[in-house]
Structure 1
Amino acid sequence: MGDDGVPKYLRSNVIVEPLVDRFYAWLHTVAPVQASMNLAFLQLPLLESYLQSPQVHIAASNNPDLRGGYFIDIPEDRADEVAELTASIKRDRAGMLQFAAAVAVAEELVRHNATGFDLTPLYPKLPTALNGLVELAYDTSNQPSLHFLEPIVYHSLAFDSRRQSFQLSLDDGVERPFILSTPRLPGPDVLDLDLPLTHAGLGELTASRIRPVSPTRLREALELTDAQAVWLDRLLTDRPALSPDRHIESGGRIRYYGHACLVLQSAEATIVTDPFISTDNRRGDRFTLDDLPDHIDLVLITHGHQDHIVLETLLQLRGRVDKVVVPRSSRGNLPDPNIALYLRHLGLPAVEVDDFDEIPFPGGKVTATPFLGEHSDLDIRAKSTYWVDIAGKKVFVGADSSGIDPVLYRYIRGHLGRADMAFLGMECDGAPLTWLYGGLLTKPVSKKMSSSRKLSGSNAAQAGDIVVELGAGEAYVYAMGEESWQGHVMATTYNEDTYQLKQIDEFLSWCKERDITAEHLFNKRQWRW
């Protein structure tokens, strides 16, 4: 290692992969209720399936037609390590597994015994693992449900920060295995740190992107062994790679960083939406972490799907962000975890908003606006679009919201005026219900039912209705996982005949006929005024 006393910067292409029990950490694998369910009913059975037939999983992982499927992409000669991981989960996460089993029992109890009469007699029949953590309730149609007291569940056996760790590596442009299926094993090309994601050392490491720190200090902060400390030469560099034009001195600017990530700037403030940002700055075909301003006023999270609240990016921004704005959940509904609680337990400054709540920032404000659909018709409230007033522009950030009821956008325009620019998602043939929510379903659904309830945004007609109702003069469609650095999260494959792309082309033609400036975004784009 070089001179440990000379301050250095974190290299541009350092990846921080957050892990829980070696699986990629995201909302449904960290928030305790959903994490317990996914561990018991998805991840553990997946590991056991691999151990029964590693060759089947490896073959499926290499089949382009099965991209994004639940197959473990780990060579057969490492099956013993998968077996060790499986055994450790069964041994060390017994509390979580017991909690998940209790949820399944309780939901069955409620389905068969809550018939519109007094629910009090059911409480003594609940599994002991749920005592003090749930409430039973009816809606006004006498449909019963189980509600979780989420803040308390974070203090139960269902949540254990000792599950957490992170891997550091260098982005070489090679696609990583799919995050929902393949656990991350140790290897020569990664540095494993068995530390919680809130560990102060991780904050010091990521802060060194913009403020140099001595390797000696980092070694101490990260509690590195002698063998691990050798990695610092690979992670650090003498010079920062920060882009000289990352700030602006006047007017306004929007930069598209890929997928649903926008960076909206004025001379006074910076707003970032759904940050999912590449760490590979070698190609010049994208904006990366190097292009971000040093300080970010607000991060706006539209919803809890793994491609919109990307923890590996958020952890790199911790300490640089004033507030992470998230939509308020329905409080205790199984498929609708509280995003603010989740982020706060990871050391991020989250604040919740309801529809039409306003968050001011220097020289402007953000207004939360409603989000329709895209969640397989589940009762999920933690989703929001946003209206950003910045540097004289009114910008609608639509994410994956659907135009299934265009009158909604008429109300938005009535409340906030006419939009100058609208950014929309058009993944109009999304994955089925069970692809993302299967681990939470304690009552099986048929394949036909699952396929009818997709994670779909707007099609061409619905996107057109949104633009008309908002009065937008410009409309931009996000890329749908098409950017090369997003495969490990998105696992999408398109060709010229793909329905989604045809719908985007139809929408762009519709806009052209009406003199509406429109574009299908890809990789990078900039607007300046």
Structure 2
Amino acid sequence: MSHEQRFLRPNVIVEPLVDRFYAWLHTVAPVQASMNLAFRQLPNLESYLQSPQMHVAASNNPDLRGGYFINIAEERADEVRDLVAAIKRDRAPMLRFAEAVMRADALVREEAAGFDLTPLYPRLPDELNGVVEIAYDTGNQPTVRFMEPLAYRSGAYAEQRQSVQLSLEPGVERPFVLSTPRLPGPDKLDLDLALRHGGLDELFAARLRPTTVARLREALEVPDEQVAQLERLLTDAPSQSEDRHIEAGGRVRYYGHACVLLQSPDAAVLTDPFINCDTNSTGRYLLNDLPDHIDLALITHGHQDHTVLETLLQLRGRIGAVVVPRTSRGNLCDPSIGLYLKTIGFNVIEADDFDEVELPGGKVTATPFLGEHCDLDIRGKSTYWVELAGKKFFIGADSSGIDPVLYRYVRADLGRADMAFLGMECDGAPLTWLYQPLLTRPVTKKMSDSRKLSGSNAEQAAGIVTELGAGEAYIYAMGEEEWLGHIMATSYRPDSYQLQQVEVFLGWCADNGVKAEHLLGQREWRW
């Protein structure tokens, strides 16, 4: 039976992990991963051990959804205790690196007073030697810049942290990925493989082409005692949709959240890939609906709901290139998305504003992205202008219309948009919700609450559409799809400010002759 043809089941959950925590940009990129491990994940685990009941109760309280509570039953507390011990033992270099970042920041803040910085280099912590540069900006403010490629070669980066956990969709929401580590279990297959391991491509290719258990065992280095878990993930029938390709014209499909597929007979472009596995819910497109080859995957920014590794890993062998925004090279809060994805095996194109990437019968142009990042100096963010199958699309993601004149420049350079896709999470999480582990100096709650992960409100979205001259505008579902709760953890009520603003914007569109919708689940356009 090990040599019979098998396909990967459509309802396989894929969770890339680092030290049992869900892998995303800030938990893999070495500088930021060290800070998150030392100043969020480890303290959170220790808090859980002090009161498992409190964490579990808070995890199941709808009013605390998205909080940093660990949803692991108290009877498994010893496993969490073992995880804490392993992190302190095996990740000591990362923990020292994080402490060194804090000490270096304090040194520079206290000693750099506008004079020569050379005397400070011998006083830097040993963990940062050769990895950082100290500099002043033109306002005479000192800063520490990280040489990221070297950080990937330092003790702050360990591929041994990485693994992939596979299981079958149980039909219930997974625990929130930013807080709850994934423990092993009899119904899970844990692969102790680096995320760049080629065996993963062999596994995910089995969605399209048959393989065998024997072949996968070898490719994935599956031990004898886990073969049964591997076999549970496989089936003898393919599940790809027959209409995943088109033969004429153009097509756009909305897959949920900010994920849009733009297709012609010759090319396919996928934005912010975020497609959960098959569950019993209906009214949405799945991985099986994607074409066999995707020319370009466009990443707008590095947040965990836009650079979604559990989806990207499954598509790595099918994507020609991933287009990502170029970052600021070394800013603590702005890790390189390109370097992150290259390190784990993707073909990456880094784009600055107005760089062009050709594709069969069309092109993609990177365009500026304003706001949404809590007023931090983050440059790794981009909107995109896609020209394909005779139409022009603006992919706005969470970019804000705080200065609509920007989009006037975009239109002057690229023309009028036929369709604009925007985000309107206009009352997002505060600064410390996502960035607290990276803050080298504390901020007050009042400061944090004033600086949010917010996209456009109704007035700002209207400004974008007006300046782009867009004939159609579509607001993506802002975490409303039930199958994305493990990453989004959002809770809206009918009277939520965000949904009220969407309605105001849709009213504005109706009054101004702009065809508009608030998307949810799936939608298709053909021409």
CA apart distance, 1:280: 1.1
1:463 and 2:455 aligned:
no
Out of 119, 122, 134, the residue aligned to residue 120 of structure 2 is 122
Long gaps (5+) in structure 2: none
**AA paired with 1:110?**
V
Aligned to 1:51: 49
CA apart distance, 1:171: 1.4
Could you tell me how far apart the structure 1 residues matched to 2:391 and 2:95 are? 50
**AA paired with 1:401?**
S
Show structure 1 runs of 4+ deviating over 6 A: none
Could you tell me how far apart the structure 2 residues matched to 1:439 and 1:420 are? 41
Out of 188, 191, 201, the residue aligned to residue 190 of structure 1 is 188
TM-score, normalising length from structure 2? 0.99
**AA paired with 2:400?**
S
**AA paired with 1:176?**
R
Aligned to 1:442: 440
CA apart distance, 1:172: 2.7
**AA paired with 1:507?**
F
CA apart distance, 1:281: 5.2
Structure 1 residues 28-427: aligned runs within 5 Å: 28-280=26-278, 282-427=280-425
Could you tell me how far apart the structure 1 residues matched to 2:414 and 2:342 are? 30
Could you tell me how far apart the structure 2 residues matched to 1:459 and 1:494 are? 16
User: Quick check: 3-12 or 371-380, which moved more?
Assistant: 3-12
Could you tell me how far apart the structure 2 residues matched to 1:434 and 1:281 are? 33
Could you tell me how far apart the structure 2 residues matched to 1:82 and 1:281 are? 29
SS class of match (1:319): helix
Aligned to 1:431: 429
Could you tell me how far apart the structure 2 residues matched to 1:515 and 1:189 are? 53
Whether the 8 Å CA contact 2:187–2:229 is kept in 1: the answer is no
SS class of match (1:110): helix
Whether the 8 Å CA contact 1:165–1:193 is kept in 2: the answer is yes
CA apart distance, 1:371: 0.1
Could you tell me how far apart the structure 1 residues matched to 2:238 and 2:271 are? 25
CA apart distance, 1:335: 0.3
Aligned to 2:472: 474
Whether the 8 Å CA contact 1:173–1:485 is kept in 2: the answer is no
What fraction of aligned residue pairs are identical, expressed as a percent? Answer: 71
Whether the 8 Å CA contact 1:255–1:264 is kept in 2: the answer is yes
Could you tell me how far apart the structure 2 residues matched to 1:263 and 1:12 are? 19
CA apart distance, 1:222: 1.2
Whether the 8 Å CA contact 2:418–2:470 is kept in 1: the answer is yes
CA deviation string 1:423-452 (max 9, x = no partner): 000000000000000000111100000000
Could you tell me how far apart the structure 2 residues matched to 1:79 and 1:169 are? 22
Whether the 8 Å CA contact 1:172–1:280 is kept in 2: the answer is no
**AA paired with 2:468?**
L
SS class of match (1:351): strand
1:516 and 2:514 aligned:
yes
Could you tell me how far apart the structure 1 residues matched to 2:170 and 2:515 are? 36
Whether the 8 Å CA contact 1:173–1:280 is kept in 2: the answer is no
SS class of match (2:187): coil
Aligned to 1:527: 525
Could you tell me how far apart the structure 1 residues matched to 2:136 and 2:483 are? 45
Whether the 8 Å CA contact 2:248–2:264 is kept in 1: the answer is yes
Long gaps (5+) in structure 1: none
Could you tell me how far apart the structure 2 residues matched to 1:476 and 1:170 are? 33
Could you tell me how far apart the structure 1 residues matched to 2:435 and 2:441 are? 12
Whether the 8 Å CA contact 1:259–1:480 is kept in 2: the answer is yes
For these two proteins, the number of residue pairs brought into alignment is: 527
Whether the 8 Å CA contact 2:188–2:229 is kept in 1: the answer is no
CA apart distance, 1:284: 3.2
**AA paired with 2:518?**
H
